[in-house]
Amino acid sequence: MPAPKIAIILGSTRPGRLGKGVADWVYGHARKRTDAEFEFIDLADQGLPLLDEPVPPIAGRYTEDHTKAWAAKIAAFDGYIFVTAEYNHSVPAALKNAIDFLYAEWNNKACGFVSYGSAGGTRAVEHLRLIAAELQMADVRAQVFLPYSRQFEGREFRPTENAAKALEPLFDQVIAWAGALKPVRDAPSTPE
């Protein structure tokens, strides 16, 4: 079986965001692994407007070119690691919007989370776990959470040794579940 393809998706698009340093750190560690292919996706580079598709994504009838491009990009992966801030006890709007554009492209794939914020971003991840369940994604237990008070000095991301150690089980679980779900993704679909 070929190595699974895992996307590391940066979910904040805010100017001056702290997430870019976090995502670069995650991607840097991921690239040292040989058991999966990793690609970094910055939502700020995707050009997605506020959801503008007239038909719900579960129908798979995308009309906008930006949606079709986004769908093709996301469909190419076996799993995802979402790097998310916590905004007002929840998910950044740009990340929720990007997720909501699609449906089948997320199905039967693994996902994990690296979060940051005043409480380490844990409340955003709790919301993302509910969203993942609705999209038929398998979210893994391992999580990296980065509290501002311990991982940042001013606007500089300063990951601790423990944070780096927490990445490995996250990678391990996302890769394992991405592989385990491959037969489900490859099975012929049945009409609803």
Tell whether 189 is covered by a domain: no
Domain membership flag for residue 192? no
Q: Is residue 113 part of a domain?
A: yes
CB 87 within 8 A of CB 125: no
Q: State the 10-residue block means of pLDDT for the chain, 192 residues long.
A: 94 95 97 98 97 97 98 98 97 98 98 95 98 98 94 89 96 98 88 56
Asked if residue 188 is part of any domain, the answer here is no
Q: How many CB atoms lie within 10 A of CB 84?
A: 27
**What does the pLDDT look like over 171-189, one tens digit per residue?**
999 999 999 999 999 998 7
Give pLDDT, residue 190.
62
Give, as one character, the DSSP assignment of residue 108.
Answer: T
Task: Specify the DSSP element, H or E, that contains 112.
Answer: strand 110-117
* 110, β-bridge pairs: 79, 138
Note whether residue 191 is domain-resident: no
Write 61-67 long-range contacts (CB < 8 A, 24+).
67/101, 67/102
H helices, E strands: number in the chain: 7, 7
Position 190 in a domain: no
The pLDDT mean for the chain works out to 95
Q: Which helix (H) or strand (E) holds 156?
A: strand 156-157
DSSP codes of every residue in 53-96: -SS-GGG----SHHHHHHHHHHHT-SEEEEEEE-BTTB--HHHH
10: in domain: yes
| Domain count for the chain | 1
pTM of the model: 0.96
Distance CA 94, CA 49 (A): 9
Domain of 41, in residue numbers: 5-183
Residue 67 domain flag = yes
CATH code at position 151 = 3.40.50.360
Q: What's the CA gap between 43 and 103, in Å, rounded?
A: 17
For 116-151, the pLDDT digits (tens) are: 998 999 999 999 999 999 999 999 999 999 998 888
Rounded Cα gap, residues 152 and 22, in angstroms: 10
Tokens of 8: 């590391």
